[in-house]
Structure 1
Amino acid sequence: MIALHTTIAIAAIILLIIRAKVDPIIALVLGCLYLGLASGIGFEKTVDAITSGFGDIMAKIGLLIGFGVLMGALLHRLGAFKVMVEALVRVVPANRLPYALAMALATIAPSIYVDVQVVLAAPVARSSSKFISKDGLAWLSGALGTGIFCGYVFVIPGLAAISIAGLLKVPLGTYLIYGIVIGPLTALITVWIFRRMLALGWWDATKDEEESEALAEEEAAGEVRDGGRRPSLLLAISPIIVPLLMIAFGAFADLAGKSNAFIAFIGNANVALFLGLLGAYAIARRFVGTTASADAFSDGLHTTGEILLVTGVGGSLGAVIKATGLAKLLGGLFSVNAGAPIVLSLLLAWFIAAVLHLAIGSVSVAAITAAGIIAPILGSIPVAPVVVGLAIASGSLFALQVNSNFFWMFTSLLGLSTRGGLKTMTTVTSIASLVSLPLVVVAALVS
């Protein structure tokens, strides 16, 4: 009966979000309450599980999410991301620009929220597409979508990546070591495959492209309002690069057995991201002034609240599932014996995340919910937790489509029809999900 009630709870969450258009936070809490009460753990234990699950995940990643979002908001206000993309356009040959754009988005940009990334990058992709051969807009659109979401789920400090690692209790340095390889590699392979599809006639500009009235407005909104005064490229990306280097240094020192108290301190993700936030704040104060910096900080705080609540309630769902005793039952699905290879465990984790994404339409909510479901049974899965997290990340990428708000923003800003959006964003996220899965399997073999 516990399995049945869990299925009902998850189905109810999905239906509330899709059909009733209920906010994911409310839907997740209602699902937690139903599961706890229907499974018989009682009123008090249900509430305790919800609150303790929320508190546990916030203790692990609450500051990380807050620092990352605030840093992204300040960099957005600075025009730092636009500086980076424009630098790519200047130095990269036209036929290599989609690869460079995908790589930059997957490695440097994850600290900036995905909606902001597409607003800033879309005008550059549109204006650069004419310098590329036939189907340039389609290729750059696919590269843009690929890079954004490969960074979002695989690369720290992407918010989905931080959430998955936190829910599964994976050290961020460990997740970064694997993700910084799998994410960009997935992006490059996906862009290459998509280019081959375009060469075979996948794109029809007359049906897949259309003018976008929102484009000019968003392009104007993306400009720095201080008369164009911006930091240099190196200064603009330093708040992102320095924390990544600090986290990676700490992780590699730990793996090599050379860590000490000071190295552990500077390699701590909270310390590293706070330093990045300080850097972004100082640069913003210098280039756009105190008032504009304060406004950007306020915008970041607004975004942070919603993200923290969704992530925290994802932790609550996992805690309620653990309290019901379902972990032992689900653990059987992931048990590995001579007749069931390790890859089956990864496929199940991937499948759960992919189905949730198809149903809910949000990469982050799908990843958080899947991690919340699987976290209580990690001990039953004979695979390193980081690899399970990567499998969830891979599955949560699958087929971003029309039930996603991002999909409609993407098509509007890039001047694509609905069909064009399906043939770019939905296609490349599906390819990326399928491409990354074997890479995750390889990671399982070497972990």
Structure 2
Amino acid sequence: MPLVIVAIGIVALLLLIMGLKLNTFISLIIVSFGVALALGMPLDEVVKTIEAGLGGTLGHIALIFGLGAMLGKLIADSGGAQRIAMTLVNKFGTKNTQWAVLVASFVIGIALFFEVGLVLLIPIVFAISRELKVSILSLGISMTAALSVTHGFLPPHPGPTTIAGEFGADIGEVLLYGFIIAIPTVILAGPVFTKIARKLVPDSFTKMGNIASLGEQKTFKLEDTPGFGISVFTALLPVILMSIATIITLMQKTMGFEGNALLDAIHFIGEAGTAMLLSLLFAVYSMGIARKIPMKNVMESCTQAILHIGMMLLIIGGGGAFKQVLINGGVGDYVAELFKGTALSPILLAWIIAAILRIALGSATVAALTTAGLVIPMLGQSDVNLALVVLATGAGSLIASHVNDAGFWMFKEYFGLSMKETFATWTLLETVISVAGLGFVLLLSLFV
């Protein structure tokens, strides 16, 4: 039974990572070899399959992922992120601080990967909490909700970017539909869920938290940071470029007008790789050169960004190798055969598989990639919108973060919570995002 072999492989992965404390990338490669052999794959095909999975996955996302990391780092190191947060807090006023933090975290979260955004924003949120005498957790839930939603639904984040490549979905469509889903989801998971959490664990909202482990943070005088407008524009530029190209493409399909050199140029600029490169070059100017920062310092920020994501790239590559083993080993076809003729939507199926794997594995990205290996063979049997399947997979991969996920422990320690309080806040928050995300994807599927 192929599924029994996959289940044993996932248990082995858990034992290697959690029991033996082995590096996630090494664990993924070991399990990929083991599952390939157990599935009866010819020996001369095993290494080729793993290499193809690793190379194919990284080949698609390394450019977007690398440039995205540099863009986020430049915005952070220049003080742009601090300017966005503090300006919004001032504009929204003391009574609406939670909404200000939500909006700021959402904008910053588009440009920064989850872990980077968390480490960058937590000191800012702690400072706001102290100054305005607001509960740190009430701000923290909105902040992490926004970072988690952008991480799960919006390119250039690794999950949606990688899965879009694996499914052959248009990354611009993923971004456009991702925004439509992300906005109501983040409102539910932020301010609305905070009220529920306050009733579930009221004591946790009185805790002070502790960010000593983050060490000394780079802080800026507000007058020394870039302007609010240019900071927001720099953070959103890749989104703007990709969205324009996608909207024009959708209009072209709907109205049926002919292509021309201008449309080709717009499509080229709106390609994820091109949009990220142009946005990074603009950030080098707006966050660096225009502010008289030496090019050496600007490039140092870019170098640091890549150093921080090196292992993450390898883990994503390892997930891609495991995914390819599942496809070439026939597991995907077996799942497709199992659900042949079923009324279950590929959107719902992708979410269920990703959710089960997320709970088992902890890593959202690895869960999403493994889901791709099981779902891809089924997509040929359906005319479902691929961008929506990507978003459903992203939603499923966020569910019920618990003790096997680094995010669980980061949230617990930074906000000074007990295990019970962390389950009632962080784990439940991630579940709200996952279920709400699925609901909005299914709603959107009625119209696109």
Using the size of structure 2 for normalisation, the TM-score is: 0.89
- The amino acid across from 2:14 in the alignment is I
Match of 1:246 in 2: 241
- The amino acid across from 2:62 in the alignment is G
- Picking from 212, 218, 222, the partner of 1:222 is 218
**Mapping for residues 188-207 of structure 1, pairs under 5 Å:** 188-198=187-197, 201-205=199-203
Cα drift, residue 419 of structure 1 = 3.8
- Seen in structure 2, the aligned counterparts of structure 1 residues 227 and 150 have a Cα distance that, compared at 3 Å, is closer
Cα drift, residue 442 of structure 1 = 1.3
Other structure's SS at 1:156 match: coil
- The amino acid across from 2:98 in the alignment is P
- Seen in structure 2, the aligned counterparts of structure 1 residues 275 and 281 have a Cα distance that, compared at 3 Å, is same
Match of 1:335 in 2: 340
Contact 1:123 1:219 in 2 (8 A): no
- Seen in structure 2, the aligned counterparts of structure 1 residues 325 and 366 have a Cα distance that, compared at 3 Å, is closer
- The amino acid across from 1:221 in the alignment is Q
**Mapping for residues 164-175 of structure 1, pairs under 5 Å:** 164-175=163-174
Cα drift, residue 143 of structure 1 = 0.8
Match of 1:303 in 2: 308
Q: For 2:34 and 2:276, how far apart are their aligned partners in 1?
A: 37
Match of 1:101 in 2: 101
Q: For 1:168 and 1:132, how far apart are their aligned partners in 2?
A: 46
Of the structure 1 ranges 15-24 and 378-387, higher mean CA displacement relative to structure 2 is found in: 378-387
**Mapping for residues 357-368 of structure 1, pairs under 5 Å:** 357-368=358-369
Other structure's SS at 1:403 match: coil
Match of 1:285 in 2: 288
Note the alpha carbon deviations across 1:189-219, whole angstroms, 9 max, x for none.
Answer: 22243143156x22333x565444534x748
Listed as ranges, the gaps of 5+ residues in structure 1 are none
- Seen in structure 2, the aligned counterparts of structure 1 residues 376 and 428 have a Cα distance that, compared at 3 Å, is same
Q: For 2:361 and 2:328, how far apart are their aligned partners in 1?
A: 25
Q: For 1:239 and 1:168, how far apart are their aligned partners in 2?
A: 29
**Mapping for residues 78-227 of structure 1, pairs under 5 Å:** 78-129=78-129, 136-198=135-197, 201-205=199-203, 209-215=206-212, 218=214, 220-224=216-220
Contact 2:107 2:236 in 1 (8 A): no
Match of 1:49 in 2: 49
Using the size of structure 1 for normalisation, the TM-score is: 0.89
Contact 2:145 2:189 in 1 (8 A): yes
Q: What RMSD in Å do the two structures reach over aligned CA positions?
A: 2.6
Match of 1:430 in 2: 431
- Seen in structure 2, the aligned counterparts of structure 1 residues 104 and 182 have a Cα distance that, compared at 3 Å, is farther
Cα drift, residue 376 of structure 1 = 4.1
Other structure's SS at 1:110 match: helix
Match of 1:389 in 2: 390
- The amino acid across from 1:204 in the alignment is P
Match of 1:267 in 2: 270
Aligned residues: 438
- Seen in structure 2, the aligned counterparts of structure 1 residues 360 and 328 have a Cα distance that, compared at 3 Å, is closer
- The amino acid across from 2:395 in the alignment is S
Other structure's SS at 1:402 match: coil
Cα drift, residue 235 of structure 1 = 1.8
Note the alpha carbon deviations across 1:57-93, whole angstroms, 9 max, x for none.
Answer: 2332221111111111222211221111111111013
Q: For 1:118 and 1:99, how far apart are their aligned partners in 2?
A: 17
Contact 2:171 2:272 in 1 (8 A): yes
- Seen in structure 2, the aligned counterparts of structure 1 residues 90 and 266 have a Cα distance that, compared at 3 Å, is same
Of the structure 1 ranges 5-14 and 374-383, higher mean CA displacement relative to structure 2 is found in: 374-383
Q: For 2:357 and 2:94, how far apart are their aligned partners in 1?
A: 37
Note the alpha carbon deviations across 1:23-80, whole angstroms, 9 max, x for none.
Answer: 2211211121112222222122111111122222233222111111111122221122
- The amino acid across from 2:30 in the alignment is L
Cα drift, residue 243 of structure 1 = 1.5
Q: For 1:261 and 1:25, how far apart are their aligned partners in 2?
A: 39
- The amino acid across from 1:426 in the alignment is T
Other structure's SS at 1:407 match: helix
Contact 1:81 1:109 in 2 (8 A): no
- The amino acid across from 2:147 in the alignment is I
Match of 1:24 in 2: 24
- The amino acid across from 1:374 in the alignment is V
Q: For 1:422 and 1:208, how far apart are their aligned partners in 2?
A: 14
Other structure's SS at 1:445 match: coil
- The amino acid across from 1:99 in the alignment is W
Of the structure 1 ranges 75-84 and 367-376, higher mean CA displacement relative to structure 2 is found in: 367-376
- The amino acid across from 1:279 in the alignment is F
- Seen in structure 2, the aligned counterparts of structure 1 residues 298 and 35 have a Cα distance that, compared at 3 Å, is same
Contact 1:165 1:171 in 2 (8 A): yes
Cα drift, residue 131 of structure 1 = 7.8
Contact 2:102 2:146 in 1 (8 A): yes
Of the structure 1 ranges 147-156 and 157-166, higher mean CA displacement relative to structure 2 is found in: 157-166
- The amino acid across from 2:439 in the alignment is P
Q: For 2:242 and 2:309, how far apart are their aligned partners in 1?
A: 22
Note the alpha carbon deviations across 1:269-291, whole angstroms, 9 max, x for none.
Answer: 11100011112223343344334
Listed as ranges, the gaps of 5+ residues in structure 2 are none
Q: For 1:370 and 1:429, how far apart are their aligned partners in 2?
A: 18
Q: For 2:423 and 2:27, how far apart are their aligned partners in 1?
A: 27
Q: For 1:127 and 1:401, how far apart are their aligned partners in 2?
A: 28
Of the structure 1 ranges 93-102 and 153-162, higher mean CA displacement relative to structure 2 is found in: 93-102
